[in-house]
Chains A and B, each alone.
Chain A
Amino acid sequence: MSAVLAYGLAGAALIAIGLYALIVRRHLLRKILAMNVVGNGVFLVLVALAKRSAVPDPVPHAMVLTGIVVAVSATALALALAVRVRDATGQATLDERRGTAAEAGRGRDAPG
């Protein structure tokens, strides 16, 4: 039970870390990575759930496998979209105030 609990707590910690970074970090690449950390935390919780019996339960494993496929395709779409956002606005963040200020010609030079 202690191993299950350790994996479950690690999963919960990953979800918390990812959620924090998703909200606080501004760069899109960091947000996408944070999303993947949240996803891996969820998967870890599911894998821990599967290991509660002596013979591991295959259903959560199947859910995690499907979840990984979904996460890969979602990450691909997010990365492609992030590139388009950077090409269109000149910045890889969702900060709209800077974007509109730059469009109006009042913008400061965007750092980095």
Chain B
Amino acid sequence: MIGLADLALLPWVVALPLGGAVLSFVLRTRAPFVGLVTALATAAAGLLLAAQVLAAGVQRHLVGGWGAPLGIDLQADGLSALMVAMTAVVGLGVSVYGSAYFAGGNEDTAHQRAYFWPLWLLLWTALNALFVTADAFNAYVTLELLGLSAVALVALAATPAALTGAMRYLLVGLLGSLLYLLGVGLLYGAAATLDLQQLAQAPLSGRVAAVALAAITAGLVLKTALFPFHFWLPPAHASAPAPVSAVLSALVVKASFYLLLRFWFFVAPELASAVLTTGLGLLGAAAVLWGGLRALTAERLKLVVAYSTVAQIGYLFLVFPLGLGQPEGFTAWGGAALLVLAHATAKAAMFLSAGVILKAAAHDGVSGIDGTAQALPVTIFAFALAGVSLIGLPPTGGFAAKWLLLNSALASGQWWWALVLIAGSLLAAAYTFRVLAHAFTRLPGDPPPCVRSRRLEWSALALAATALALGFVATDVLELLRVGAPVQGPVLMERAP
């Protein structure tokens, strides 16, 4: 494409959704229209940014022309660009879904429709800003913006469960951000800069830097809902309106995980010890097993999907023992990045289809969806397709991601992590088929009557299909990830003799 390298896209991926959020708040009656147009523009800018980084390498923008350390810079390397592109794809799907989900005449949905768009676009702004910021303190501000808009979105449901879920989410999120702020402050005390690139070049050692990274890690692990700090996630994610649940599970938890990667792989890999990497890996393994078991026994459909998120977050943390400090860590790095993308698309599709299913179901329990496969074939297909990616069956994106992680575990001689991957996949298969078995249970008589909306059903299916398609474009994704990657090595490792 001509001139792609000259476009200053970085400020636009933040400015577009921010402008849309303000506009949709002012023009309340036209909010869905403004929201959809903004979503299209933001998604286009995000995907263009990914293409630009792939074609022209790492992008950096000095906001206001100031430059670090005085100003705040925006920067996009391969990882940032992938995250922005993921947000673009999932965000577009959720926006189309949201435009139909909150349609309707009564007062509650009118209220939700009016406030969903400004809050959701603000959340999108915070996500994009967090992914492209090059400043550790600016990341704190975006983290808080993200947390506050996410809490307000959960509270949109206005049920007692949603309100208490939102309250717990807010308190945990605030504590996490404050711990992160403490860590960033101490890091500034140790290195006298907040710019992530300058921090990476500064020699970080000694007790202050170690305590700073410990505080940052504690805060971000709390916000990422790693076992055993996952207690706040299922009530918040399961009680929110369907498009909000999708965004929270698919994107918001990835934001704090992204910052963890940023700090450990880019800023301070020299501070990582075997205790830290193994510890995070063990917590991840516990999350995979516990989340999977709870998903298998959960009573309500949306709780099944929410606990599945707890389990899938666990997989992501295997990147620390498999990739951090490993000479050829790219296999694990690529596997984790692919899993972030595959989980984002598949989990968004799963929550969106759960929203459609629950509109038709007898009650919100798993047994309440008996017979829905007859009434909603497209939606059940989307749910199943998303489940296939979560399990990690070929040829989905989930398969490609788990294949890389498995290869990395076996080739680097850490076979015990492979057991975790396999056990987690079995559990994922079990809880997916448990839901599908109920959906395909034939009820006597005609299928239950339900409101069918093409836009709801097909946006969920499109996201599920994206999770499937990721398996076919995995090599392109990995090529983008190579831009400015902190670890090197071949895509697939040879087993050491």
Contact = CB atoms under 8 A, between A and B. Distances in A.
B188 A70 contact: no
A70 B164 contact: no
B182 interface: yes
Given A73-B148, A74-B148, A63 B185 contact: yes
B174 A85 contact: no
Interface stretch (B152-160, B261-269, B377-385, B404-412): B152-160
Contacts of A84: 155, 158, 163
A67 B177 CA distance: 10
B422 interface: no
Contacts of A99: 160, 164
A60 B178 contact: no
A40 to B, nearest CB: 10
A94 B163 CA distance: 10
Q: How large is the interface on A (under 10, 10 to 19, 20 to 34, 35 or more residues)?
A: 20 to 34
A77 B163 contact: no
Contacts of A60: 185, 188-189
Contacts of A19: 175
A49 B171 contact: no
Interface of B is mostly: helix
Interface in B468-492: none
A49 B182 contact: no
Interface string B159-182: 110011011101100110110011
B166 A81 contact: yes
B141 interface: yes
Q: Which of A81, A84, A89, A103 has the most CB of B within 10 A?
A: A81
A96 B159 CA distance: 13
Main secondary structure of the interface of A (DSSP, over half): helix
B175 A35 contact: yes
Contact of A77 (B152, B160, B175): B152
A78 B141 CA distance: 17
A74 B168 contact: no
A49 B185 contact: yes
A89 B162 CA distance: 11
Contacts of A42: 178, 181-182, 185
Given A49-B185, A60-B185, A85-B167, 18 more contacts: A28-B167, A45-B182, A49-B189, A59-B194, A63-B185, A63-B188, A67-B181, A74-B144, A74-B148, A74-B170, A77-B170, A78-B171, A84-B158, A84-B163, A85-B164, A88-B163, A89-B160, A89-B163
Interface of B: 137, 140-141, 144, 148, 151-152, 155, 158-160, 163-164, 166-168, 170-171, 174-175, 177-178, 181-182, 184-186, 188-189, 194, 235
28 contacts: A19-B175, A28-B167, A31-B171, A35-B175, A39-B174, A42-B178, A42-B182, A42-B185, A45-B182, A45-B185, A49-B185, A59-B188, A60-B188, A63-B188, A66-B137, A70-B144, A74-B144, A77-B148, A77-B170, A78-B167, A78-B174, A81-B151, A84-B155, A88-B158, A88-B159, A89-B160, A89-B163, A94-B168
